[in-house]
Amino acid sequence: MRPKSFFINGGAGRVLCSIPALEKYQEDHPDEDFLIVCEGGTDFFKGHPTLYGKVYDNWHKNLFRDKLIHTDTISPEPYRVWEYYNQKCNLSQAFDIAINNKGIRDLPKPTIKLSKEESINGKFIVAEVRQKTNKKKTVVFQPYGRGVQQAGNIITDPSGRSFEHGNMVSIIKRLQKKYSVILMSEFAFDFEKEGLRDTISFPAGNGVPMRGWAGIIKEADLFLGCDSVGQHIAHAVGTPVVAVMGSTFGVNVSYPEEEMFDVLDMGEGLRQYDPIRICPDEESARLNDGIMAMNDKVEEVIMKSVDKLMNKYYRKPTMEVVLPPEFGGPTADGCNLPEAPSSNGNNFQIPMQQPAPGGSDVKIPALDIPSKGFSVKK
């Protein structure tokens, strides 16, 4: 019988969620020389004690002639698993069904084995923002999912998974009253023009890779975010999570049954399942558009959830971190705020409000909370 080559595609979150299923496959087939081909990068397999030796990037030199030609190629697609698109299982379990065909079962958390350097850099980044803000409790905030698009100076997410920009700014202001904040985003904007006066850590400005984010999230006290890779990393490394769902179902893309998770559902009773990777459905996308827009009361619910988990799980650090100069230590100026983005390169400025004709400002409206559309799954 020929060995298999499993092609794992999609974003970093999908790659991470595939790991438990592949670990189970290896347990059941210890003698099979199977391969894992990553179309979205191999970062999360690095350092894995048993799987990394089987992992290849899809562009690896001579991969087909040397390896794949001798195997059966398989592309497990969790979004096409019946239990997934009927909200019976999460992403890791859907990968397990597609790969191992043993039904819905409990799985271990994904294994992320950080190097000492990755762990120490995470400690330094978190310690830096704590020292510069004099706030010892740290929240990593990921407001945008993979579906975010940038057009000019506007950010939109047609998939309905991401925070609205105005809500993001408002939530950062609320967080900063109690906590130091690390912004997990590849999109830069002018913090001061948005009224964010306190220090915000913006590691993406220094090119922090995905495994670097794992080190940061592991060291932080809490993760707040949308349906994206950050919550999966936090799940893997054991950091408490407040996850806010819009167009996607928490049972599919998050972990509502986990003790250290609060899954806040903006879309309950409002969303329509979007069968991505099955068939295009324009009507679902239109219906889910704008589903993550929040008013003050919704933001308050999010903050109460953050406070609740922080109070329950916060543990005072056992040792004080002395920062080296490059992280704002004694001979440096301190935590580097991102400079105002220029019109060149990848940085761009995102105004919270756009001037309207006649000189007035157009403000993001505070939506009334419907009878359905926001619940806490715990």
Q: What is the pLDDT of residues 145-173, one digit of tens each?
A: 988 888 877 888 888 999 999 999 999 99
pLDDT of residue 320: 82
More confident residue, 100 or 368: 100
pTM of the prediction?
0.86
Placement of tokens 């998939």 in the chain: 159
pLDDT at residue 27 is higher than 80: yes
pLDDT at residue 204 is higher than 70: yes
Placement of tokens 């953050």 in the chain: 306
Say how far apart CA 362 and CA 319 lie, in whole Å: 48
Within 22-75, strands assigned E span 35-38, 55-57, 72-74
pLDDT of residue 331: 61
pLDDT of residue 375: 62
pLDDT at residue 367 is higher than 50: no
pLDDT of residue 357: 36
Q: pLDDT tens for residues 87-134? A: 999 999 999 999 999 999 999 999 999 999 999 999 999 999 999 999
pLDDT of residue 188: 76
pLDDT of residue 318: 79
- Residue 358 backbone zone (phi > 0: left; psi -120 to 50: alpha; other: beta): left
pLDDT over 90 percentage in the chain: 71
pLDDT at residue 350 is higher than 50: no
pLDDT at residue 289 is higher than 50: yes
Say how far apart CA 11 and CA 113 lie, in whole Å: 19
The number of C-alpha atoms within 13 Å of 39 and in the hemisphere containing its C-beta is 11
Q: pLDDT tens for residues 43-76? A: 999 999 999 999 999 999 999 999 999 999 999 9
Q: pLDDT tens for residues 235-286? A: 999 999 999 999 999 999 999 999 999 999 999 999 999 999 999 899 998 9
Domains of the chain: 4-100 (no CATH), 117-377 (3.40.50.2000)
More confident residue, 269 or 377: 269
Give the residue-averaged pLDDT of 207-218: 94
Give the residue-averaged pLDDT of 212-226: 97
pLDDT of residue 146: 84
Say how far apart CA 175 and CA 177 lie, in whole Å: 5
User: How far is Cα of residue 290 from the mean position of the Cα atoms in its chain?
Assistant: 19
pLDDT of residue 368: 40
Say how far apart CA 350 and CA 234 lie, in whole Å: 28
Least confident range from 223-227, 287-291, 315-319: namely 315-319
* Angstrom distances, CA of residue 245 to CA of 151, 284, 305: 24, 16, 14
pLDDT of residue 244: 98
Q: pLDDT tens for residues 77-98? A: 999 999 999 999 999 999 999 9
pLDDT at residue 370 is higher than 70: no
pLDDT of residue 359: 36
Q: What is the mean pLDDT of the chain?
A: 87
Residues in Cβ contact with 158 at an 8 Å cutoff, skipping those fewer than 6 apart: 147, 149, 285, 289
